[in-house]
A and B are shown apart, each in its own frame.
Chain A
Amino acid sequence: MAPVQNVPFVSILLCMVCALLCAVLPGKAARFLARAVPGLICLGNLALTFAFRDLEPFHYPMGHFPAPWGNELRAGPLEAVCSAALALTAFLSLNAGMRKVRQQIPERKQNLFCVVTLMTLCAVCALLYTNDLFTGYVFIEISTLSAAALIFSRQDDRSLAASLRYLVMNLTGSGLCLMGISMLYGITGQLNMESIRQSLAAAEGPPSLPLRAVMVLLTVGLSIKCGLFPFHEWLPDAYAYSTPASSALLSSVVSKGYLFLLIKFYMRCVGLEAVRASGLATALSSLAGLGLLIGSLHAIRQWDLRRMISYSSVAQISFVFLAVGLCTPEAMTAAVFHMLVHAFGKSMLFLSASGLSDVSGGRFDADSLQGAGKRHFAAGAAFTLGAVSMTGVPLLGGFLSKIYLSQAAIATSGPLSAAVLLLLALSTFLNTLYFLHAVVGIYRPGPLETPPRRATGAGYLVSLCLMMAVNLYLGTASASLYSTLLRGISLFA
């Protein structure tokens, strides 16, 4: 095995060990580790992505026993590029948000905050690389707990209440996932994804009732955790009231792990035809379509900028589910591409919102933020780019992901494709209403007396500029990324 092939294992274990270290180190060293380790993981996974130009997807046994008896990881170009992207998001978010962490989180608890962020990254890497469903469940729980800790890290009233709501709903989702995994084990006797596929392939005809039940349970469980339409109640409070680095991590990194596991389950365990045949795909697309509209409609009503961005997250996650519900390889590629676009765009939005409020007396309502874009040039530019990307204007990632989804929808040719195109158009219109309204608002003439200004720091500025660069890259020069994702999806099953 080539040295670079150890990257999946190293990513997971390095995060875990550094999280352990952060628990005993003092605050300053812990913060340094929390900022440096995601960068290392990103570099390692980038090296692996480049290696995959010559390499085939490989299995990485975790231990001395091969697949169905021991755990294993499976690495391919898709997993590598997604890990690199999500680690990069985490790296940039933590560097930009660390100053706010020092201001908003009690001093003696900052090293514990760093523990939690590193465990979040560990969980996401494990969910991306795992080839075993039960390992996936264990790391789903790690992700849930660390996300809850990220939400309440600020320890004020709203964060605690939001964290409780989050935990109760997400633990229900985890319970449903575990029930689905147990049932799947009951009908196949396997926990390794490829062995499950082999065992299910032996049975002919339409999916049996237990299999359909398993698919429904896992889908509902993971949808609750991602925030799909009827289960999105916990999302706005959880994302809006935590420290900006937490919001960025939660919206960009945590939900992507669950989505990826769902895509993996559909493609590797049961197969896309079974999902289509069981009617689950249509149900998923319908719920996603509703979520797209309702998320945007709620966002229009919000006066708090952070809540508006959170409701926009509901809409964007529904977009990804819409793509997943189409159940074709091109649609899955569009879904993964939008996951990456959303990761970079949403984290940039949350961080720039915090910068804008720093120059507006620490407030987030639309009145106080008038003219904030002129008071803090970088934050205003970043917010504009993020808003424009989410709306779907050319030159930024959102536009390309809408194009890819439309192409995938047209290729499916049926009533669903027309519905998807209509939904895309409607959602673009609704996004414009609130996002561009907010962008115009931050560039209006500000209040007569300049509000007190809080310094944002060099790390924040540099990270924000890098984020803007990545978002522009995604919108303009990402053809090679798309082709890597397409190839990765074709090698994924």
Chain B
Amino acid sequence: MAALFSDHLYEAAAMLLFGVGFTTLLLNRNLLKKIIGLNVMDTAVYLFLASMGYIEGRFPPILREGVTDASAYVNPVPAGLVLTGIVVSVSVTALLLALTVRLYERFRTLNIDEIVLLARKGEK
């Protein structure tokens, strides 16, 4: 347990955050809170991925004047992957919020149970 928080602090924190986000997603009936939970989950995964690039005592991955030794810099790969992920997360959040706006215009409620019920009732 102690090893978890000394060796793997960021990764453990990311997993706890993932759990928080997932619980928010599952337990809330309000649509906006579900979207926030989804965002928290995604952020947790990015934290997990980004933390993998860190090497103790090294510089950020931009060339410094005169420091050409490759072992002076942190791993740049996870940073690039997280960049992609963040853009995807933004796009997805925008789409979810647009859907929420349309559903609210139509049903005047943000409760997902009521929305599903009203949508089903409309078909009969």
- A residues near B (Cβ < 8 Å) are 134, 138, 141, 144-145, 148-149, 152, 155, 157-158, 160-165, 167-168, 171-172, 175, 178-179, 182-183, 185-186
Given contacts A157-B118, A157-B119, A160-B99, contact A175 B34 (CB under 8 A): no
Q: Is the interface of B mostly helix, strand, loop or mixed?
A: helix
Cβ of B4 within 8 Å of any chain A Cβ, yes or no, is: no
**Residue B32 at the chain A interface, CB threshold 8 Å:** no
User: When chains A and B are docked, how far (Å) is the Cα of A167 from the Cα of B92?
Assistant: 9
Complex contact B119–A175 (CB within 8 A): no
| Given A148-B95, A160-B106, A161-B119: A138 touches B25 (CB 8 Å cut-off) | no
Any chain A CB within 8 A of the CB of B64? no
In the complex, chain B residues whose CB is within 8 Å of the CB of A186: 52
Contact indicator A178/B45 (Cβ below 8 Å): yes
Do A161 and B116 form a contact, CB below 8 Å, given A152-B99, A172-B38? yes
Residue in B closest to A135 when the chains form the complex, CB atoms: B84
A179 adjacent to B45 (CB under 8 Å): yes
B79 → chain A closest CB, angstroms: 13
> Distance in Å from the Cβ of A247 to the closest Cβ of chain B?
16
Residues of A within 8 A of B20 (CB): none
User: Which residues in B have their C-beta under 8 angstroms from that of A171?
Assistant: 38, 42, 92, 96
With beta carbons under 8 angstroms apart, the residue of B88, B116, B122 that contacts A165 is B116
Minimum CB distance partner of A140 in chain B: B88
Chain B residue contacts of A157, Cβ below 8 A: 106-107, 118-119, 122
Per-position 1/0 for B34-60, Cβ under 8 A of A: 100010011001001100100000000
Complex A-B: 23 CB contacts under 8 Å: A138-B84, A144-B92, A145-B92, A160-B102, A160-B106, A164-B31, A164-B96, A164-B99, A164-B103, A167-B95, A168-B34, A171-B42, A171-B92, A175-B42, A175-B45, A178-B42, A178-B49, A178-B85, A179-B48, A182-B48, A182-B81, A185-B52, A186-B52
- A182:B99 contact, CB within 8 angstroms: no
Known A145-B92, A158-B123, A179-B18: A172·B84 in contact at CB below 8 Å: no
What is the CB-to-nearest-CB distance from A176 to chain B, in angstroms, rounded to a whole number? 9
CB neighbours of B72 from chain A (8 A): none
Cβ of B108 to closest chain A Cβ, rounded Å = 12
Query: In the complex, which residues of chain B have a beta carbon less than 8 angstroms from the beta carbon of A138?
Result: 84, 88
B12 within 8 A of A: no
Q: Which residues of B contact A149 (CB under 8 A)?
A: 95
Report the bound CA distance from A35 to B35 in whole Å. 35
Report the minimum CB–CB distance from B117 to chain A (whole Å).
10
Could you tell me the distance in whole angstroms from the C-beta of B120 to the nearest C-beta in chain A?
Answer: 7
Interface centre among B48, B99, B112 (most CB of A within 10 A): B99
B99 and A163 contacting across the interface, CB-CB below 8 Å: yes
State how many angstroms separate the Cβ of B27 from the closest Cβ of chain A.
13
**Within the assembled complex, what's the spacing in Å between the Cα atoms of A114 and B106?**
26
Query: Any chain A CB within 8 A of the CB of B115?
Result: yes
A contact residues around B85 at 8 Å (CB): 178
Across the interface, name the chain A residue whose C-beta is closest to B118: A157
Q: How far is the CA of A165 from the CA of B22 in the complex (A)?
A: 15
Does any Cβ of A come within 8 Å of B91's Cβ?
A: yes
Chain B residue, CB-CB nearest to A168: B34
Chain B, Cβ-Cβ closest to A166: B99
Which residues on B sit within 8 Å (CB–CB) of A165? 116
Q: Are A141 and B92 in contact (CB under 8 A)?
A: yes
Q: Collect the chain B residues with CB atoms within 8 Å of residue A172's CB.
A: 22, 25, 38, 41
Residues of B within 8 A of A182 (CB): 45, 48-49, 52, 78, 81
When A and B form their complex, which 7 residue pairs have the shortest distance between CB atoms, in order from nearest? A161-B119, A182-B49, A157-B119, A141-B88, A157-B122, A158-B119, A179-B45
A168–B112 alpha-carbon span in the complex (Å): 11
Nearest chain-A residue to B105 (Cβ)?
A160
Q: Which of A141, A144, A161, A178 contacts B115 (CB 8 A)?
A: A161
Interface contact A160-B103, CB-CB below 8 Å:
yes
Q: How far is the CB of B60 from chain A (nearest CB, A)?
A: 20
Q: Which of chain A's residues has its CB closest to B120's CB? A: A158
Q: A161-B103, A168-B34 are in contact. List 19 more A-B contacts (CB 8 A).
A: A134-B81, A141-B92, A145-B92, A157-B118, A158-B123, A160-B106, A161-B119, A164-B103, A165-B116, A167-B95, A171-B38, A171-B42, A171-B96, A175-B18, A178-B45, A178-B49, A179-B18, A179-B45, A182-B45
A157 to B95, CA, bound (A): 17
CA distance A171 to B34 in the complex (A): 12
Task: Encode B18-33 as 1/0 by CB contact (under 8 A) with A.
Answer: 1000100100000100
